[in-house]
């Protein structure tokens, strides 16, 4: 993966034995905003607010319940947290002030880091390509992001999908909203290596903290 | 010197040749007209948007926004940081708030930034462009610039997620915001205060990754507007605008027969009402043209 690879997530070996099987304690200590889980009173307002509600295998309030019920694999392996659109409806409505969206995001990241996230959610693929894009140049190159997604399943599938989405692409091209050149070159920050140094340092600090918890 | 100056984060989508380049054109037109100077943050980087948490986790994601905050305060001390894209606002504002509230996070972030020779204070206010238009300029002053009122135009104001949550524009309601309706009114158009889908999510990034699942959301937003028999939909968010247009193009291709509903950016609508050309309003970037806007009688000059 070269230089950019260093700031990508590397899944650590999952022993699944930390916290003597106490998943709630694990979430509280290791998942971003995880300490909020016990504030939830199971009122269901968050789940009722989710725009893609019917597509969640376990809607947010159930995720909180499953965490407390110690169902680790079910939570981290579920495609549910990948259904969050970051709409923040839950955040403004939760009577307990739980930052529900952030916990869902935190769980998604943690599941990837532990190597337990399902491989197939398209949002996972999009997010990973997106981050590679950001790390490479410091700015998102939309055509390149679109192409890398279209070709994520190999060349033949990519060509088929490109043809299918051609009209939208051509429309944007015609309207001056998708530069032909940007897919090749594209501008970014002046010194991507400097930005990568910052991100690598941040990643290193985070990993060191996680390792300290491991002992 | 311009009447108002801000430190400006254009965002990835608003660059020339990107999907919201037409939006940036309209932003520049409107700000020029209102004597607002947007000073671009030198060497800004992506905000991480709503997907940064997956690859970036917590600290790298926060560091990304912290770099923008640091560059902004270095180049434009004392100025508010203003974003074109509500998505950039959400990520940047959140990072700034967390840095101020969490000492450990602040210390770790400084350590990361030092690898690039930067330091951050995160003391400036982080605002959306629409916050500035509504709060600092205000409807009255905007109204004074109208040379081509949107007479007879019925416009549904689609606010979307990131212009209503977690904090509404200029303190507006998160559930039933009215600032967009008041803006339409100031421009001489007819708003639809009872439009049901004002703050309905359009699917966000999942409109790209899960298009089939997001269809119901996009359809609902457009159908509700049709029920009110509006001429067009207006939105402050360039990504909502993109998603609503691309979805309708896809529909048309799969044999849909309904006439498409034009969706324009709020700043495009303002530029038209200010009497500026279609090109200056960014309307040449529409995938779905807005004939009602082009048919307006010419301005009062
Ligand atoms: S809205 Fe808050 S309290 Fe209610 S179920 Fe969701 S997280 Fe729990
Ligand atoms: S932010 Fe995510 S979890 Fe919260 S209501 Fe929206 S989709 Fe559901
Ligand atoms: S929200 Fe979009 S436009 Fe804003 S910096 Fe981020 S990816 Fe780029």
Question: Is it the case that residue B291 has pLDDT exceeding 80?
Answer: yes
Atom of ligand 3 nearest to the CA of B12: 8
The region that residue B170 occupies, defined by phi over 0 for left and psi between -120 and 50 for alpha, beta otherwise, is left
The band of A6, judged by pLDDT with boundaries at 50, 70 and 90, is: very low
Q: Which of A117, A144, A161 lies at the terminal end of a domain, its last residue?
A: A117
Q: Output the six-digit token pair for B24.
A: 């940036």
Atom of ligand 2 nearest to the CA of A46: 5
* Cβ atoms B287, B245 nearer than 8 A: yes
Instruction: Report phi then psi at A197, rounded to 5.
Output: -60, -40
Where in the sequence is the domain holding A202, given as residue range(s)? 122-211
Ligand nearest to the CA of B242: 3
Question: Is it the case that residue B78 has pLDDT exceeding 60?
Answer: yes
Q: Which of A84, A117, A150 lies at the terminal end of a domain, its last residue?
A: A117
Q: Which helix (DSSP H) or strand (DSSP E) does residue A124 occupy?
A: helix A122-137
Q: How high is the pLDDT of residue A19?
A: 73
From the list B164, B250, B263, the residue with the least C-alpha distance to B221 is B263
Residue scoring higher pLDDT (A181 or B157): B157
pLDDT tens string A177-201? 766 444 444 578 999 999 999 999 9
Residue A155 and residue A203 in one domain: yes
Residue A108 and residue A66 in one domain: yes
Residue A126 and residue A111 in one domain: no
**pLDDT mean across residues, chain A:** 83
Q: Is the CB of A43 under 6 A from ligand 1?
A: yes
**How many angstroms is it from A94 CA to the middle of ligand 3?**
27
**107-136 in B: which are within 8 Å (CB) of A?**
108-109, 111-118
Neighbours of A164 (CB within 10 A): 12
Partner B contacted by A161 (CB < 8 A):
no
Partner B contacted by A6 (CB < 8 A):
no
* Cβ atoms A96, A41 nearer than 8 A: yes
From the list B124, B60, B54, B57, the residue with the least C-alpha distance to B89 is B124
Residue A70 and residue A149 in one domain: no
Q: Decide if A92 and B174 are in contact by the 8 Å CB cutoff.
A: yes
Q: How high is the pLDDT of residue A12?
A: 66
Question: Is it the case that residue A137 has pLDDT exceeding 90?
Answer: no
Q: Output the six-digit token pair for B225.
A: 């507007």
The band of A173, judged by pLDDT with boundaries at 50, 70 and 90, is: low
Collapsing DSSP states into helix, strand and coil, what is residue B5?
A: strand
In A, which residues are within 8 Å of B206 by CB distance? 52, 83, 85, 123
From the list A144, A192, A136, A132, the residue with the least C-alpha distance to B17 is A144
What total number of domains does chain A contain?
A: 2
Partner B contacted by A203 (CB < 8 A):
yes
Question: Is it the case that residue B188 has pLDDT exceeding 90?
Answer: yes
Q: Distance between CA B193 and CA B184 in Å, rounded?
A: 10
Report the chain A residue with the minimal C-alpha distance to residue B44: A189
Question: Is it the case that residue B239 has pLDDT exceeding 60?
Answer: yes
Report the chain B residue with the minimal C-alpha distance to residue A199: B60
Q: How high is the pLDDT of residue A7?
A: 58
Q: Distance between CA B174 and CA B178 in Å, rounded?
A: 10
Question: Is it the case that residue B175 has pLDDT exceeding 80?
Answer: yes
pLDDT tens string A86-101? 999 999 999 999 999 9
Residue A138 and residue A56 in one domain: no
Partner A contacted by B286 (CB < 8 A):
yes
pLDDT tens string B96-130? 999 999 999 999 999 999 999 999 999 999 999 99
Collapsing DSSP states into helix, strand and coil, what is residue B126?
A: strand
Q: Distance between CA A101 and CA A20 in Å, rounded?
A: 27
Q: Output the six-digit token pair for B181.
A: 């309706």
Q: Output the six-digit token pair for B102.
A: 């969490």
Q: Distance between CA B264 and CA B271 in Å, rounded?
A: 11
Partner A contacted by B55 (CB < 8 A):
yes
Sign for the CA dihedral angle at B86, B87, B93, B96 comes to negative
* Cβ atoms A64, A102 nearer than 8 A: no
Neighbours of A5 (CB within 10 A): 10
- Residues in contact with ligand 3 by the CB-under-6-Å rule are A 140; B 11-13, 46-47, 49, 85, 87-88
* Cβ atoms A137, A122 nearer than 8 A: no
Residue A102 and residue A163 in one domain: no
| ipTM of the complex as predicted | 0.93
pLDDT tens string B12-31? 887 777 778 899 999 999 99
Instruction: Report phi then psi at B37, rounded to 5.
Output: -105, 120
Q: Nearest C-alpha to atom 6 of ligand 1 is from which residue?
A: A46
CATH of the domain at A100: 1.10.1060.10
Residue A132 and residue A206 in one domain: yes
Q: How high is the pLDDT of residue B294?
A: 86
> Which of B45, B54, B203 shows the shortest C-beta gap to A85?
B203
Q: Output the six-digit token pair for B208.
A: 């790209």
Residue A10 and residue A96 in one domain: yes
**How many angstroms is it from B87 CA to the middle of ligand 3?**
6
Atom of ligand 2 nearest to the CA of A86: 1
What radius of gyration do chain A's Cα atoms show?
A: 19
How, if at all, do strands B4-9 and B126-128 pair? unpaired
Q: Which helix (DSSP H) or strand (DSSP E) does residue B235 occupy?
A: strand B232-235
Sign for the CA dihedral angle at B232, B235, B239, B243 comes to negative
Neighbours of B43 (CB within 10 A): 16
Sign for the CA dihedral angle at B186, B190, B196, B202 comes to negative
Q: How high is the pLDDT of residue A141?
A: 74
Residue A172 and residue A112 in one domain: no
Q: Which of A65, A95, A117 lies at the terminal end of a domain, its last residue?
A: A117
Residue A17 and residue A107 in one domain: yes
Q: How high is the pLDDT of residue A13?
A: 62
Residue A202 and residue A134 in one domain: yes
The band of A159, judged by pLDDT with boundaries at 50, 70 and 90, is: very low
Residue A10 and residue A65 in one domain: yes
Sign for the CA dihedral angle at A72, A76, A77, A80 comes to positive
Q: Distance between CA B285 and CA B291 in Å, rounded?
A: 14
Report the chain A residue with the minimal C-alpha distance to residue B54: A109
pLDDT tens string B262-274? 999 999 999 999 9
* Cβ atoms B89, B50 nearer than 8 A: no
The owner of tokens 């207006």 is: B234
Question: Is it the case that residue B63 has pLDDT exceeding 90?
Answer: yes
The owner of tokens 């807005």 is: B290
**pLDDT mean across residues, chain B:** 93
């Amino acid at each position: 993966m070269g230089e950019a690879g260093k700031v990508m997530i590397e899944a650590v070996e999952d022993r699944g034995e930390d916290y003597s099987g106490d998943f709630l304690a694990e979430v509280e200590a290791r998942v971003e905003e995880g300490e909020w889980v016990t504030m939830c009173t199971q009122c269901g307002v968050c789940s009722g607010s989710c725009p893609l509600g019917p597509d969640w295998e376990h809607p947010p309030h159930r995720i909180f319940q499953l965490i407390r019920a110690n169902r680790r694999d079910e939570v981290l392996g579920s495609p549910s947290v990948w259904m969050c659109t970051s709409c923040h409806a839950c955040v403004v409505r939760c009577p307990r002030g739980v930052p529900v969206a952030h916990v869902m995001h935190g769980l998604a990241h943690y599941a990837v880091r532990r190597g337990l996230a399902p491989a197939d959610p398209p949002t996972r693929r999009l997010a990973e390509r997106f981050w590679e894009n950001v790390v490479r140049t410091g700015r998102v190159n939309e055509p390149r992001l679109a192409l890398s997604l279209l070709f994520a399943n190999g060349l033949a599938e990519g060509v088929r999908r490109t043809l299918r989405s051609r009209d939208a692409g051509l429309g944007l091209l015609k309207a001056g909203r998708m530069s032909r050149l940007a897919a090749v070159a594209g501008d970014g920050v002046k010194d991507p290596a400097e930005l990568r140094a910052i991100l690598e340092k941040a990643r290193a600090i985070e990993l060191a903290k996680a390792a300290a918890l491991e002992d | 010197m311009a009447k108002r100056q801000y430190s400006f984060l254009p965002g990835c989508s608003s660059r020339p040749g990107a999907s919201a380049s037409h939006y940036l054109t309209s932003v520049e037109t409107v700000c020029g007209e209102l004597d607002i100077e947007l000073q671009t943050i030198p060497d800004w980087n992506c905000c991480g948007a709503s997907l940064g948490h997956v690859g970036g986790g917590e600290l790298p994601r926060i560091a990304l926004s912290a770099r923008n905050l640091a560059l902004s305060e270095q180049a434009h001390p004392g100025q508010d940081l203003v974003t074109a894209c509500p998505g950039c606002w959400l990520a940047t504002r959140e990072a700034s708030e967390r840095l101020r509230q969490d000492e450990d996070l602040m210390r770790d972030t400084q350590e990361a930034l030092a690898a690039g020779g930067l330091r951050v204070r995160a003391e400036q206010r982080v605002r959306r462009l629409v916050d500035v238009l509504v709060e600092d300029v205000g409807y009255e002053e905007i109204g004074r610039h109208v040379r081509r009122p949107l007479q007879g135009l019925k416009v549904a104001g689609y606010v979307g997620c990131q212009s209503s949550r977690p904090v509404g524009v200029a303190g507006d309601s998160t559930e039933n915001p009215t600032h967009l309706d008041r803006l339409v009114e100031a421009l001489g158009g007819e708003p639809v205060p009872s439009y049901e889908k004002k703050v309905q999510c359009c699917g966000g990034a999942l409109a790209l990754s899960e298009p089939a699942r997001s269809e119901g959301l996009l359809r609902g937003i457009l159908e509700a507007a049709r029920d009110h028999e509006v001429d067009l939909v207006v939105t402050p968010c360039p990504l909502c605008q993109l998603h609503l247009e691309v979805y309708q193009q896809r529909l048309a291709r799969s044999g849909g027969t309904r006439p498409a509903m034009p969706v324009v950016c709020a700043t495009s609508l303002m530029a038209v009402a200010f009497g500026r050309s279609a090109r200056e309003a960014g309307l040449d970037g529409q995938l779905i043209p807005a004939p009602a806007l082009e048919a307006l009688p010419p301005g009062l000059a």
